Structure formats: C-alpha cells, structure tokens
Amino acid sequence: MKKLVITIGCILAVAGAAFAQGNVNWSGISFSAMTAQTNATEISPLFGGAATGTGTIGATGGAASAGTGFYYELLYNGAFSGSQAAGPSSIASLLSWSDAGLSASNNPVTLGRLAVINGNAGATVPWSPGTTDNIVVVGWSADLGATWGAALSVLTNSSTFAPGNFLGFSTTGYITTLATTTSPGSTLFGNGTLTAQGLPIFSVLTQLYALPVPEPTTMALAGLGGLAMLLIRRRK
C-alpha cells in the first residue's frame, strides 16, 4: 500500500509539472518598447499585402470599449528553435500561435500607446517555468471583436471586411518563464537586447494594416445574387 501511495504521488507530481504555468510581467507596456499605428495604405500581409490605393497612417486612438479603438493579445508558439522566429504571415501560420491569455487595449489619452488589461507583475502563462516559447503581440480594431477568440473567428471564417478594420503584429521575441512564486516574472518587452530570460518584444510603431474591403462591383453582385434567391423562394 505504501508503494502504491508513493507511485500515485509521483504520477500526480509529474502531471502537475506538465501542466505548470510560468510567470511573466504584465504590469505595463513601456512606450519605448512598443507602440502601434494604423496603416490604411496597405492591406494586411495575411491577405496579400497589396496597396489599398488610398488611405493614411496614424497613431491608434479612441476607446476600445466603445468599439472605435483597438485590442491587443499576447500570443505564444512553443516551436522555439534557438533564435528569433518569424511572425505570422498567413492565416495558416497564425493558427500555429496560441492565446497566452494576456490582453491590452489602446491608451485613450496618449495615441499609439498600449494599456494592459488586468495588469499583474506576476501573471501566469500556459507554458511551464524554465520553458522557452516564441511570443508576439497581435493588435486589431475593436469592431472585429472584444476578445482575440472573437476576432480570430472573423478572420478565419469571413472573406469580407468593413472599412476601418485593422490587424497587425509586433516583432517577435522569445521568453523563458520563471516559477510562479517569482515576482515580477519574466520581462516581455524591452529595448531589443537579450535578457536573462530571452529576447523581449521591441516593436515601436507596430503597423496595424487595413483588411481587404470588397470591391463595389463584388458587393453589387452579391446583392443581386441575394435578391435572385429571394425571388426564387417567393415563386416557390
């Protein structure tokens, strides 16, 4: 019986370690490490990256809670190869990045700056202490959704977007998490130099690119198609 208890204890310990959470610093994002601006002159590289033909570039602003601002989320990818990873370049590659559960919005007072949501110097992330993962911050206009899950659903299931929809990514980094008892946790944002925990994100003037808006002719054809279907149903 004693051996059985010890064996079960060892199994539980291993299982606990496998699902342990690391510790990072999500208390704030310095404007010297990361800022963001909209880019309405170019389509998001995830959708071809072509020029829009018109538009402007400006620092992000507005109130995210009112649907006119921007949200941000920390994503992670466990496929660390020993050097800085490339950022998402397609919807398929985007799906290889997971949600770390840490969110931010734009600073409504100072344009271009980010304000963390539920700031915590000892925030936990889904990968274990001592494990190194790639990290990146995704930013999107609030009209795509108030959460990354909602925005991702639109990006993966919709082929049309509205004027004013934006999406972009910071430069990547990689971080080795600390134990959850350690405060303030691993540094996520820095000045481009290595730290004891890895390479923090350094992404001043992060570009949030426009999403493709359907051509007026495409919209008209879609409208005619819908009208035709409605007439067919009425005749039946």
Residue 131, pLDDT score: 94
Residue 1, pLDDT score: 46
> From CA 67, how far away is CA 150, in angstroms rounded?
13
Residue 53, pLDDT score: 81
The answer to the question of residue 198 being in a domain is: yes
The answer to the question of residue 11 being in a domain is: no
Domain region containing 200? 20-235
Residue 213, pLDDT score: 87
The answer to the question of residue 229 being in a domain is: yes
The answer to the question of residue 178 being in a domain is: yes
The answer to the question of residue 231 being in a domain is: yes
Q: Which residues contact 233 (CB under 8 A, 6 or more apart)?
A: none
> From CA 155, how far away is CA 138, in angstroms rounded?
13
> From CA 163, how far away is CA 108, in angstroms rounded?
21
- Give residue for tokens 């507005």: 62
Q: Strand, helix or coil at 20?
A: coil
Task: Could you list the beta-strand ranges (E) of the chain.
Answer: 22-26, 34-43, 57-59, 70-77, 98-106, 114-116, 120-125, 132-141, 166-169, 173-176, 198-199, 203-210
Please list the rounded mean pLDDT of every run of 10 residues in the chain (236 residues). 40 41 95 96 94 90 81 96 95 96 93 95 93 97 96 87 94 94 90 96 97 66 45 50
The answer to the question of residue 4 being in a domain is: no
Residue 219, pLDDT score: 42
> From CA 28, how far away is CA 102, in angstroms rounded?
11
DSSP alpha helices (H): ranges in 33-166?
91-94, 148-157
Residue 19, pLDDT score: 52
Residue 85, pLDDT score: 96
Count of structural domains, the chain: 1
The answer to the question of residue 1 being in a domain is: no
The answer to the question of residue 10 being in a domain is: no
Residue 62, pLDDT score: 81
Prediction pTM value: 0.83
> From CA 115, how far away is CA 102, in angstroms rounded?
11
> By C-alpha distance, which of 154, 157, 158 is closest to 141?
154
CB count, 10 Å around CB of 120?
16
Residue 235, pLDDT score: 55
> From CA 192, how far away is CA 212, in angstroms rounded?
32
